[in-house]
Every structure is written in C-alpha cells, then in structure tokens.
C-alpha cells in the first residue's frame, strides 16, 4: 500500500489515502528545525536591533530576489518530475457529505476543482461573477454525467471579488441558510501582466483586493457556517510567485512611490499577504473550532495567467507545454488539501510546535516551506491588522464570530 506523505506522530495518523508516496516521517519539530537551518533564522530573535531593522525593510535584498527567481525557474523546469508520482486526475476519497464553495470556478483550475468535487459526490457551490457562464457549464456537465448515477449536486451563487459589498452579500445569503460549510476554496485570482495599476471601486489595487482582501473577508464572514460544518477547511490557492513578493504594510496599495508599481509587484505581494494573513488566522482559530487553514501552490499552470498575458508571451507559453501544467494537473494540490484526512492533523502539529506559518502544500501535494519573508511574524501580524482595517472589520472579529457574537462590517450593511 502507498501511504500519505504528511509527517506523522503516531501509527493511527499513518492510516491515510493510498494516493501518494510516503516521505520521511519527520515530526513537526524536526521539520521546524530543518527549515530554520535552511532559512538561517529562528522563530524568535534575541537581537532587538535586528527586529527593528526588519521592521524598516523596504524591499527584498538582491540575494533574496535572486533566490526567489531561481526557485521559480526550478519549479517550472522540474515540476513534472517532482509531481510524477501523482495520478491525473487526482483520485478523491468519499466526499458525499461535503458542501464546498469554490470561487472563480468557471474557468481554469477552479473549473476543474468544482467539476471533480461534484463528480465525486460533493455539494458544490460555484461562487462566480458570471452566473450565466456557470449555469451553462453546469448544464454541460449534467449532460455528460447522464447515465452515471444521480445528477451532480451543484449550484451557482453570484460573487464579485472586485466588490467588497458583493462579498458581504454572498456571505449573508449563505449564512442565512443556517447550513454547514465544510470546505471553502478561495481559488479566484487575477494576474494582469503588463497592465497599468488599477484600483477597484473600493479604492484598492485590484491584485490586492481579488487575491487577498476579498478572500480574507469571505473567509472571516463564513466562519459561522464553517463552524457548523466542523471539521472544515479554508484552502487558499496561492502561487510560487510569492517567493519574489514583499509586503509594505504602510503601502499595501503601492501608491506611495517608494516602490515602482508593476503587475508583478502587485501580484506577488498580494500572494505573500495572503500567506501571512492565513498564518495568523491559522493560529487564531482554536482547536475546538475544528477549522483548518492551508495555502496551496498549483504549480506553473498555463491557465493561471494566459488570458492576461500579452499575445507574444502567450505564444511563448505554447512553445513550452511540457513544462507547464494543465488546469487539471494544477487542481491536484487544492483537491488534496481539501480532502486528504491527514491534512488537519498536519496543521495541528504545526500549530502545536508554534511554527510561524500555516501549512503550505506544493504542486506535488507535499508540504513545503513558503518564502523566508512569509516567516516574518511581526510583518504577518501587521498584515493581519491592516487587512481588517481595509475590509472594514474589527481585528477581533474572528474571536467574536467564534463566540457567536454579531460583528459589524462597514461594507454591505452586514452584521455577522
């Protein structure tokens, strides 16, 4: 039998899905020590001056920048080799009792995630901006599924991440059902390569809002439903591009002029902010809530950015199809994180060992280490506070929602 690869502490924890090979069964403590050695850092510093210096950091050093880009090149060249043990499509465990919300599920990775979860028996909610396209897609899937059993249990709800009011309306509508939510997959994202800086109607840089702020708001507002569905999971689709990202909490919109804005700056910093926020949320959620938080990398996937690329760059993408994942291949890490029974145990091990970041699952469905910058605990808490300020919620909203209290949001006239 082939067993799951996540680190284990007991024989009972080793009883998992027969999908991927087992790696060396390290404890979370061993993983933490190894990664401290790799990063050349500790979770706490005995040098206050170094902490002050880090706080005033205004960007990645050239060594960090070069290391990040080398990692990206390595991922592109070798992702097929490192993920060669995975089946395509990813076989899933029984999910008939799960209700899953998948954002941005009319195309690319999100479309594959929604389809595969529905075909495996889950109740899937496609949270999308284009509801017409989603309904047409569902009809197509239903027709293809005819004769293979019961109809797919899938529905559509409108959600526009470029509008925080829309996020609040969606959460209100879903929470009003008073039903459980077992898996929230924050898949929707944008990477408008080569485009000038654009602000949403809420006044935020579009990459920041779609890739970080809106998913953060959605995750927090849906906590009551996630608690009803406990054990439940929040899965955030991230990117290897966060390795070249940097977050300035005093200028998250990149409008101060301290850094020159490019779409790469907007995208990479938004993905890093997502990991930092997720790491604090992971720690803030008590074990009794039963909610797991994890970030995943789909790998270098053609559909991730192809629609936003200049035509000449799109052509280059088509010249290297061997190295680039298909949407189906890119969906595997998210599906794994959303359904594998050992993922919550792994997340709890990280929390128990006070590891500074949440679980980060790579494109080969193995736990990996996010960037060194993602381990900056001080900046992560600053991102947490700034994010709540930007999305219009009090910074203690998580604790209050878990306790069943009402929490006011300045968007959408919401009360949780």
Q: Which residues are catalytic?
A: 267
**Cα dihedral 347→349→353→354 (10° resolution):** 20
Dist CA 59 CA 55 (whole Å): 11
* φ, ψ at 233 (rounded to 5°): -140, 145
Q: Determine whether 29 is exposed, middle or buried from the number of CB atoms within 10 Å of its CB (0-12, 13-18, 19+).
A: middle
Dist CA 236 CA 296 (whole Å): 6
Closest CA to 141 of 112, 184, 104, 174: 112
Q: Which runs of consecutive H residues, i.e. helices, occur in 103-190?
A: 108-119, 131-145, 164-175
Radius of gyration of the chain (CA): 20
Dist CA 364 CA 208 (whole Å): 27
Write the CB contacts of 12 (distance below 8 Å, at least 6 apart in sequence).
none
Closest CA to 343 of 1, 3, 2, 6: 6
String of DSSP letters for 210-240 = IIIIHHHHHHHHTHHHHHHT-SEEEEEE--G
Contact by Cβ (8 Å): 3, 14: yes
Tokens of 244: 């070249």
Dist CA 101 CA 109 (whole Å): 14
């Amino acid at each position: 039998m082939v067993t799951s690869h996540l680190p284990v502490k007991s024989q009972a924890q080793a009883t998992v899905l027969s999908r991927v090979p087992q790696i060396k069964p390290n404890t979370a403590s061993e993983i933490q020590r190894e990664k401290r050695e790799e990063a050349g850092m500790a979770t706490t510093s005995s040098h206050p001056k170094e902490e002050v210096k880090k706080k005033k950091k205004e960007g990645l050093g050239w060594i960090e920048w070069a290391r990040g880009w080398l990692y990206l090149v390595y991922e592109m060249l070798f992702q097929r080799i490192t993920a060669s043990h995975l089946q395509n499509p990813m076989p899933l465990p029984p999910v008939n009792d799960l209700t899953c919300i998948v954002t941005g599920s009319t195309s690319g990775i999100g479309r594959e995630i929604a389809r595969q979860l529905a075909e495996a028996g889950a109740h899937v909610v496609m949270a999308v901006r284009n509801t017409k396209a989603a309904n047409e897609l569902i009809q197509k899937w239903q027709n293809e599924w005819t004769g293979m059993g019961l109809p797919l249990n899938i529905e559509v709800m409108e959600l526009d991440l470029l509008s925080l009011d829309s996020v609040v309306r969606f959460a209100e509508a879903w929470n009003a059902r008073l039903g459980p939510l077992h898996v929230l997959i924050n898949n929707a994202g944008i990477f408008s390569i080569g485009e000038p800086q654009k602000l949403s109607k809420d006044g935020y840089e579009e990459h920041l809002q779609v890739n970080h702020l809106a998913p953060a708001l959605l995750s927090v507002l849906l906590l009551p439903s996630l608690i009803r569905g406990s054990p439940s999971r929040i899965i955030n689709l991230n990117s290897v591009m966060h390795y070249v990202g940097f977050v300035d909490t005093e200028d998250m919109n990149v409008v101060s002029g301290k850094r020159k804005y490019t779409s790469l700056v907007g995208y990479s910093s938004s993905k890093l902010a997502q990991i930092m926020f997720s790491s604090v949320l992971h720690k803030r959620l008590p074990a009794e809530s039963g909610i797991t938080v994890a970030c995943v990398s789909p790998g270098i996937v053609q559909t991730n950015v192809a629609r936003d690329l200049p035509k000449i760059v799109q052509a280059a993408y088509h010249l290297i199809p061997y190295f680039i994942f298909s949407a189906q291949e890119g969906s595997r890490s998210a599906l794994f994180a959303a359904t594998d029974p050992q993922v919550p145990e792994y997340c709890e091990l990280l929390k128990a060992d006070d590891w500074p970041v949440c679980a980060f699952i790579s494109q080969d469905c193995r736990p990996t280490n996010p960037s060194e910058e993602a381990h900056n605990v001080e900046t992560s808490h600053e991102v947490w506070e700034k994010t709540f300020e930007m999305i219009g919620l009090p910074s203690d909203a998580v604790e209050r929602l878990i306790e069943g209290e009402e929490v006011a949001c300045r968007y959408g006239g919401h009360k949780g």
